[in-house]
Amino acid sequence: MIEKPVISAAEAAAMVKPGHVVHIGGFLGCGNPDALVAALVDSGTKNLTLVCNDTGIYNEAKGIDNGPAPLIRAKAFKTIIVSHIGTNPETQRQMNAGESEVVLVPQGTLAERIRAAGNGLGGILTPTGVGTEVEEGKQKITLKGKDFLLEVALPGDVALIKAKRADKAGNLVYSKTARNFNPIMATACQTVIVEAEEIVEIGELDPDQVHTPSIFVDFIVQAE
């Protein structure tokens, strides 16, 4: 089994270019690749599209600034595709000021659009959003008397994900609910960079416990 390159967070951030669609794993601070986010902030790269469950939690008074929130504050994104922004007032401010385009997607639909990209599908059919603002501009399909919306797949250029353990081949194990969006994003993007809390030798991971196989991973970063 071939070892994957172990690189620095700064080297990983340099792979993200203006115009890229960037998937960032995690769920409200749980399972986010914090070192990769920090390095991307330091790189100063702009004009990105974010795909994430949320835009993190930002509360200046309490000193909370997690998930993609530092990138939001750095105005790294021209477009933000997420299911929730209620815990980051800066995202709301940018949306209302027209500084960033925010596309709100129902959480299950977001996950399925990412999964569809990872499985080579053009999209999915879902009844979620029928008869609401969600259906605006989308194709509606009726099957057996029931209306569905066609939601297109959501691939990315780069996935920044977080794992509890990685072996040197890139097999990944996530910690409990920190798994969340990380596994499906690993399948949906052209370049996958994992921030791992622990990097072990090939063969040390129980194959039955591997959540993301090495075939999906391109680069490994040691978490700080």
Domains of the chain with CATH codes: 6-222 (3.40.1080.10)
198: left (phi over 0), alpha (psi -120 to 50) or beta: beta
Token couple for 6: 């172990």
Q: How confident is the prediction along the chain (224 residues), in pLDDT tens digits per residue?
A: 799 999 999 999 999 999 999 999 999 999 999 999 999 999 999 999 999 999 999 999 999 999 999 999 999 999 999 999 999 999 999 999 999 999 999 999 999 999 999 999 999 999 999 999 999 999 999 999 999 999 999 999 999 999 999 999 999 999 999 999 999 999 999 999 999 999 999 999 999 999 999 999 999 999 98
CA 203 vs CA 3, 169, 191: distances in Å: 12, 9, 24
Sign of CA dihedral 11, 15, 21, 23: negative
pTM: 0.96
